[in-house]
Amino acid sequence: MRRAGGSAPTISQVALEAGVSPATVSRAFSRPNMLSPETVEKVHAVAARLGYETNVVARALSTGRHRNIAIVVPDIANPFFPPLIRAAQARAGEDGFSVFLGDSDENADREDTLISQFAPQTAGFVLASSRLSEDRITAHFARRPIVLINRDIARLPRVLIDGSRGVEAAVDHLADLGHRRIAYISGPAGSWSNQRRRRAVREATRRQNMELFVIQSRAPTYEAGSEAAGPLCSTTATAAIAFDDLVAQGLIAGLASRGLGVPDQISVVGCDNVLAERMYPQLTSISGHAEEAGKIAVDILLRMLESHEARDIRYVIDTELTLRSTTSKPGHRRSAKPSP
Amino acid sequence: MRRAGGSAPTISQVALEAGVSPATVSRAFSRPNMLSPETVEKVHAVAARLGYETNVVARALSTGRHRNIAIVVPDIANPFFPPLIRAAQARAGEDGFSVFLGDSDENADREDTLISQFAPQTAGFVLASSRLSEDRITAHFARRPIVLINRDIARLPRVLIDGSRGVEAAVDHLADLGHRRIAYISGPAGSWSNQRRRRAVREATRRQNMELFVIQSRAPTYEAGSEAAGPLCSTTATAAIAFDDLVAQGLIAGLASRGLGVPDQISVVGCDNVLAERMYPQLTSISGHAEEAGKIAVDILLRMLESHEARDIRYVIDTELTLRSTTSKPGHRRSAKPSP
DNA sequence: TTGAAAGCGCTAACAG
DNA sequence: CTGTTAGCGCTTTCAA
């Protein structure tokens, strides 16, 4: 395809036209105050007339600095991430940074590939809910600044949405309602959020002298949540805390198809608060603060890029429980089979 | 920040280590069949050992080709787009392309800025539901290949999800149920999809001799949908077709808060089929095929980049209606006020 | 089949 | 304040 106007004007063409050296043109843009005002003006005028725009690729090669960052997530379609991505993108845009987006499809190798692919044209990374091993993350960090979201690795900058408090509150709330046996529908094994939440459930139930059933879901998806309804039914749990809202949503549907109503027969609590308000019945859920996490992560990353040093930041975002309509007193389970 | 291990290995380092010239290393990757098999193997081995990866920035500067594309959407958080983005990204990844993501926040100027910002390091664009004027799109197209999604501009490559058929089916379905007055909850004025759908509703209702109320929603969001419940209530419509599932979801909630049940008192149909199945009650909706659109768009774009010519492609994806639980015979509207 | 050498467009010492 | 020069890492003629 022939593109109109041929190739873009270069710095040398502007220089020639303006009767100065290429270096002067360069400086007119990057360090105007190093030049006499008239020169700057003259150069700018010529540049504007020629439609000159600095070639970021050339500059990147020359300086090793590119105004690009990349953000990698396990699954764009998981509703937790879009708000995070949007906030991150908006924050990056404020500083004139462009952002690459990578979807690892919940797959560590794919994530690795994406990072390597982006690296040469990327100043730094935001890795959200990374599925990579600590080793691999550290290895990448040795080459490029990285800010982690929901992954807690010492000495790496990270922003963590800590579900503990919210989960505690949820367990207490359930206990107050009279529940004695609850289930945790667990998320991906490699997920820090999941580990954190699971541990919090375990501790809180122990403290409350409640019985806990842990049910592993295949993935953090609606479908997996729906499938988890089966295993849940074969326990005697009267309430469930799901890894996230998506799983909770699936779970509720799965329960419904088994004739179990929420909250009448089983209470359900979600996490991330991302679908909760829009569901019917509205889901009692633990706050997510995804936008904040995205914004803060980019904040930190940009600051690192500027200062050229990595500080051991561990930014923790606290969570709380929002009560809605999917929890109530333990109901009667018509079809519950007693556990062994 | 001092990065361990210094900078990434270069082609020359590999060359030195392998006892060949830089040119040979380059060819070992880009044109292996130009070299003797042994040389290729040797180079690859050394490269792997050193962890060499080709620096795409340098290559881009040298060749003028960068393996980047950008995809720009009005709102990442609108559930229609994530699947589209994911599919696009996956398709691009197959060919080793990285993708920039831009969120225009439903704002034409912002969209313009994003495109200009990406352009210097981008081979081409996918513009989904662009809010830009035709002029501006054409102007950008003069510099870089663009594929449009859901925007119908003659002579530009575009993939269109045409809601007409689905909307027709929805109106017919509603007519069959006995509805005589229906409302269309309209989306963004600049949206091709919206224009298309609105026109289809208008024609189908005329054909069916139904009365049509058009209600403008502020934006394609849950909140706007919810707000639209008010205006809807002040009509005598017994059914509504919403611009998309998100608006439908909000609408149903807004209706509920006014004591109006769906489908008992009002029937509701969504579009895009992206939330529908997971809602309660499950939403009757018109299919969206967002993934297909994303994949095809990138397909076309990559083909353009390869062949260096723009063909006037107009790829239309048809839609159909999926019946679920939010439509039924016209009910009794307790609180309906007659329209003037 | 391989190497030498000349750039791609820009930036960054170093001089002047 | 401004020009000269030497690359950044890769590709690509042109020779050998």
Q: Which pLDDT tens digit goes with each residue over A287-306? A: 989 999 999 999 999 999 88
User: For strand D, is any atom closer than 7 Å to the CB of B59?
Assistant: yes
Closest residue to C11 (CA, C1′): A62
Distance CA A118, CA A146 (A): 13
Listed as ranges, residues in chain B with pLDDT below 50 are 1-5, 334-340
Best of B246, B280, B306, B307 to substitute, by most chain A Cβ atoms within 10 angstroms, is: B280
Q: Which nucleotide is nearest to A12 (CA to C1')?
A: C9
Q: What is the pLDDT of residue B292?
A: 97
State whether the Cα torsion A311-A297-A158-A287 is positive or negative.
positive
Closest residue to D2 (CA, C1′): A24
Residues on chain B touching A61 (C-beta within 8 angstroms): 57-58, 61
Residues on chain A touching B82 (C-beta within 8 angstroms): 76-77, 79, 81-82
- Once rounded to an integer, what is the mean pLDDT over residues A195-211? 97
Distance CA B184, CA A109 (A): 46
Can you give the pTM of this predicted structure?
Answer: 0.89
Q: What is the pLDDT of residue B332?
A: 64
The Å distance, CA of A29 to C1' of C8, is 20
Helix/strand/coil for A214 = strand
Q: What is the pLDDT of residue A333?
A: 54
Closest residue to C6 (CA, C1′): B62
Q: Report the percent of chain A where pLDDT is more than 90.
A: 80
Q: What is the pLDDT of residue B4?
A: 33
Nearest to A72 by CA among A37, A40, A119: A119
Residue A55 — pLDDT band, cuts 50, 70, 90? Answer: confident
Instruction: Kindly report the three-state secondary structure assignment for every residue of chain B.
Output: CCCCCCCCCCHHHHHHHHCCCHHHHHHHHHCHHHCCHHHHHHHHHHHHHHCCCCCHHHHHHHHCCCCEEEEEECCCCCCCHHHHHHHHHHHHHHCCCEEEEEECCCCHHHHHHHHHHHHHHCCEEEEECCCCCHHHHHHHHCCCCEEEECCCCCCCCEEEEECHHHHHHHHHHHHHHCCCEEEEEECCCCCHHHHHHHHHHHHHHHHCCCEEEEEECCCCCHHHHHHCHHHHHCCCCCEEEECCHHHHHHHHHHHHHCCCCCCCCCEEEEEECCCHHHCCCCCEEEECCHHHHHHHHHHHHHHHHHHCCCCCCEEEEECCEECCCCCCCCCCCCCCCCCC
Of the two residues A311 and B313, the one the predictor is more confident about is: B313
Please give the structure tokens belonging to residue A75.
């699954």
- Once rounded to an integer, what is the mean pLDDT over residues A2-15? 70
Q: What is the pLDDT of residue A308?
A: 72
The Å distance, CA of B63 to C1' of C4, is 19
Q: What is the pLDDT of residue A311?
A: 77
Nearest by CB to B100, from A75, A100, A117: name it. Answer: A100
Contact yes or no for A97/A66 (Cβ under 8 A): no
Q: What is the pLDDT of residue A7?
A: 67
Q: What is the pLDDT of residue A166?
A: 97
The Å distance, CA of B324 to C1' of C11, is 62
Best of A54, A118, A121 to substitute, by most chain B Cβ atoms within 10 angstroms, is: A121
Q: Determine the residue of chain B that is closest to A68 in CA distance.
A: B100
Best of B68, B85, B98, B311 to substitute, by most chain A Cβ atoms within 10 angstroms, is: B98
Residue A207, min C-alpha distance to chain B (Å): 35
User: For strand D, is any atom closer than 7 Å to the CB of B36?
Assistant: no
Residue A142 — pLDDT band, cuts 50, 70, 90? Answer: confident
Residue B209, min C-alpha distance to chain A (Å): 35
Q: What is the pLDDT of residue B6?
A: 52
Residue A116 — pLDDT band, cuts 50, 70, 90? Answer: confident
Nearest by CB to B101, from A96, A99, A256: name it. Answer: A99
Is residue A316 scored above 80 in pLDDT?
Answer: yes
Round the average pLDDT of chain A to a whole number and report it: 91
The Å distance, CA of B6 to C1' of D8, is 15
Q: What is the pLDDT of residue B208?
A: 97
The Å distance, CA of A58 to C1' of C10, is 5
Q: What is the pLDDT of residue B35?
A: 92
CB-based contact (8 Å) between B253 and chain A?
Answer: yes
Q: What is the pLDDT of residue B72?
A: 97
The Å distance, CA of A309 to C1' of C8, is 32
Is residue A331 scored above 90 in pLDDT?
Answer: no
Residue B211, min C-alpha distance to chain A (Å): 30
Residues on chain B touching A118 (C-beta within 8 angstroms): 98
User: For strand D, is any atom closer than 7 Å to the CB of A55?
Assistant: no
Helix and strand counts by DSSP (H, E) for chain A: 13, 12
Is residue A52 scored above 70 in pLDDT?
Answer: yes
List beta partners, residue A241. Answer: A184, A269
* Strand order across the B284-287 sheet: B211-216, B181-186, B239-242, B267-272, B284-287, B321-322
Q: What is the pLDDT of residue B120?
A: 81
User: For strand D, is any atom closer than 7 Å to the CB of B12?
Assistant: yes
Q: Which nucleotide is nearest to A9 (CA to C1')?
A: C9
State whether the Cα torsion B36-B40-B42-B43 is positive or negative.
positive
Nearest to B197 by CA among B232, B165, B158, B157: B165
CB-based contact (8 Å) between B6 and chain A?
Answer: no
What is the per-residue pLDDT across B182-204, written as a single tens digit (0 to 9) for each?
A: 999 999 988 999 999 999 999 99
Q: Report the percent of chain A where pLDDT is more than 70.
A: 95
Bases on strand D under 7 Å from any protein CB: 1-5, 7-13
The Å distance, CA of B305 to C1' of D13, is 24
- Once rounded to an integer, what is the mean pLDDT over residues A142-171? 95
Residues on chain B touching A7 (C-beta within 8 angstroms): 64
Residues on chain B touching A64 (C-beta within 8 angstroms): 7
CB–CB contact B253 A145 (8 Å) = no
Residues on chain B touching A90 (C-beta within 8 angstroms): 103, 105
Residues on chain A touching B141 (C-beta within 8 angstroms): none
